[in-house]
Structure 1
Amino acid sequence: MPHEPTFGGLLQSQGISRRAFLKFCSTTASLMALPAGIAPAMAEALASARRPSVIWLSFQECTGCTEALTRSSAPSIEALMFNFISLDYHHTLQAASGDAAEHAREQAQHENAGKYLVLVDGSVPLDEHCSTVAGISNLAMLKEACANAAAVINIGTCSAYGGIPMAKPNPTRAVAVGDIIKDKPIVNVPGCPPMPLAITGVIAQYLTLGRLPELDHLGRPVAFFGENIHDRCYRRPFYDRGEFAETFDDEGARKGWCLYKLGCKAPIAYNACAHIKWNNGVSFPIQSGHGCLGCSEPRFWDIGGVYESVATGNFGDSAKLGAAAVAGAAAGVGAAVLARRKKTELAAHEHSSD
């Protein structure tokens, strides 16, 4: 196998300064909730690291996960990361096709046995006739590729939890990657699509520190999925006051009131959308005027409807969460009514005093 240059050598050859590289490491450490002082050590480790082999498998998916990563603004962490890895196989991005493409995958698996990463987007159909690549079923290709992998990273909700292909009635018998692969470390980076920074952050930590990030009970990196969107949402004060948009074009909507009654799933969704945002930090769905779909959660498509509140959905513990949200909304409405009543009484008292 040809001698692979170090990551530091690649950056130097492309004219990327050490200052820019350190900034990249500091940003990555911050995103992954690592100590600030770790950035220099991360920079040293990355600079001397060989580019790891990455095999990216795409099964039942829409290519949105790849689009999210490649359409990020440049120069960016995402663009830098494409120099950081050796993307040896990717159905959409690879130049090779046919036998040459499959040979590249097989060669990468053989020459990097035990060291390569497998990234997967798309759910896996148990009906092996539903989706094939080069005549190989998705199920067979997944098992073969993961056999000698160091770790598996699921990109998007389809590979992490089954996503839209697994939605009722699930005609292809789609399942998540974790339902099949049980003997490898797995990280789920869900979202429809996922946030690019979450993808690159996971890869950077694994390759610099030699370990996967801390995960929650659903296998997601806590650094990106540890906070409830509702708690970080700038519309939260309106929720607490009981001020809700009733339609997408009413006065409340124009004033930026809470979208809970229009089906926003933020109270039961965990993701970094509200503080990292999309399009280089420009906005996120709620800021653009549409409620959260809860796309980072398992079975988000079957919760009862895009525009139905979580209280009437079927989303795991949503009965309890929905009841709590309704109670919170009721409390907010009650507080708003009491505040208006006190204001009215105070005005009446001042008028009678005059």
Structure 2
Amino acid sequence: MRKPRSVPSTADAMRARAIPRREMLGFCACMATMLGLGPGGGARLAQAMETRPRVPVLWLHGLECTCCSESFIRSGHPQASDIILSMISLDYDDTIMAAAGEQAEAIVEEIIRDYKGGYLLAVEGNVPLAHGGWNCIVGGRTFHSRLEEAARHARAVIAWGTCASFGCVQAARPNPTQATPISRLVSHVPVVNVPGCPPIAEVMTGILSYMLMFDRLPEVDRNLRPKIFYGQRIHDKCYRRAHFDAGQFVEAWDDEGARQGFCLYKMGCRGPTTYNACGATGWNEGLSFPIRSGHGCIGCSEDGFWDRGPFYERLPTLAQFGIESTADGIGAAALAGVGAALGGKVALTAGQGLLRRCRRTAPDADETP
């Protein structure tokens, strides 16, 4: 029986690249902070990197535009090169690998054979089922057959981007290719959805770091999204939230409200119904995110977002004050509340003054009227 090749630990890989231990510890501290792991998180991550072998990863591409890979390679903390060369063993990715043809396809067969139940399968893009699956061909085979083969013995499947997670534009009505998300086709192994068009680079690398550190999958929501990055709405962390609560909205592009940074809800912003880390993590190493750049959120990390357009139409009526209030009613409600509070204050002050005057003019208790 052929002996599988040994996979070094992350620390071994870093030492082979002449990376000092001090830099590795700094990297661990940075990742622990980003993941919110607490004071001891950096030490635990360093221990995991020194004792656990790098995890073999197969990265397949279906129907997609490669924006997820474009985002991933621009990760700044950690850098994508550190993830690929030190933390994981990226054995197959037909977008960035040097090998091609039969040489590349042999790697997939080798990993599946030698690391059954031990490798991660990362999938970028969805699977077309119409016309026998022949709308997406890789190496002379349908992508559907390649996915089935690679997922059969995987430890888990990571669905990168909204295409793989929910279908995205390929699955939008009328969906002529029957583009299908990964989670609807893989049921025998866990699937983690990492949606976004594309996902934030540090979210992608952060999830891989979490899985390396804890040797388990992150806790997910009902849409299989990791709660550590998709646990809050963008609206909850938006710096324009105060303007929403005050009823101050952009009414037209480049109006005075837009210049003053008012809320973009009336311009179709999907922040109140979109779960993602844009407002907290940001893009381009935390430089900005769409709302800060003056463009409303389009809800790209939500299921079916492409069919919820047009993107610049405001959301349907929301139910209650604050996050769920309507844009038309919230300003009036806020003013009415302030008016009621001021009226109550005036009434209370007048009442207290009248009571004091009555006490000054009232006869003593032992006097007869």
Match of 2:82 in 1: 80
State the Cα deviation string for residues 313-336 of structure 1 (Å, max 9, x = none): xxxxxx769997443651234425
Match of 1:31 in 2: 34
How many equivalent pairs are there?
Answer: 336
Report 1:260-339 matches (<5 A): 260-311=265-316, 325-327=324-326, 330-336=329-335
Match of 1:200 in 2: 205
CA distance in 2, matches of 1:241, 1:266: 17
- Farther off after superposition, 248-257 or 30-39: 30-39
The offset of 1:179, in angstroms, is: 0.3
CA distance in 1, matches of 2:190, 2:64: 22
CA distance in 1, matches of 2:250, 2:241: 13
CA distance in 2, matches of 1:305, 1:321: 24
State the Cα deviation string for residues 219-249 of structure 1 (Å, max 9, x = none): 1111100011011100111111111111121
TM-score (normalised: structure 1):
0.89
Assess if the C-alpha contact under 8 Å between 1:264 and 1:292 holds in 2: yes
Stretches of structure 2 lacking an aligned partner (at least 5 in a row): 343-369
SS of the residue corresponding to residue 45 of structure 1 reads helix
Assess if the C-alpha contact under 8 Å between 1:160 and 1:189 holds in 2: yes
State the Cα deviation string for residues 92-128 of structure 1 (Å, max 9, x = none): 1111111111111111211111101000111111120
CA distance in 2, matches of 1:269, 1:180: 25
Instruction: Output the amino acid matched with 2:295.
Output: H
Assess if the C-alpha contact under 8 Å between 1:268 and 1:321 holds in 2: no
Q: Does 1:70 align with 2:84?
A: no
Instruction: Output the amino acid matched with 1:211.
Output: R
Please identify runs of 4+ aligned residues in structure 1 that moved more than 4 A.
319-324, 336-343
SS of the residue corresponding to residue 41 of structure 2 reads helix
92, 101, 109: which is aligned to 1:89?
92
4, 8, 12: which is aligned to 2:15?
12
CA gap 1:327/1:24 in 2 versus in 1, 3 angstroms: same
The offset of 1:2, in angstroms, is: 4.0
CA distance in 1, matches of 2:31, 2:232: 18
Instruction: Output the amino acid matched with 2:81.
Output: A
SS of the residue corresponding to residue 40 of structure 2 reads helix
CA gap 1:48/1:165 in 2 versus in 1, 3 angstroms: same
Assess if the C-alpha contact under 8 Å between 1:241 and 1:333 holds in 2: no
CA distance in 2, matches of 1:213, 1:236: 29
State the Cα deviation string for residues 6-51 of structure 1 (Å, max 9, x = none): 2112212323232322222223223333333132122112122222
185, 191, 215: which is aligned to 1:186?
191
212, 220, 223: which is aligned to 2:225?
220
Match of 1:153 in 2: 158
CA distance in 2, matches of 1:77, 1:27: 12
- Structure having the higher Rg: 2
Instruction: Output the amino acid matched with 1:159.
Output: A
CA distance in 2, matches of 1:327, 1:306: 18
SS of the residue corresponding to residue 80 of structure 1 reads helix
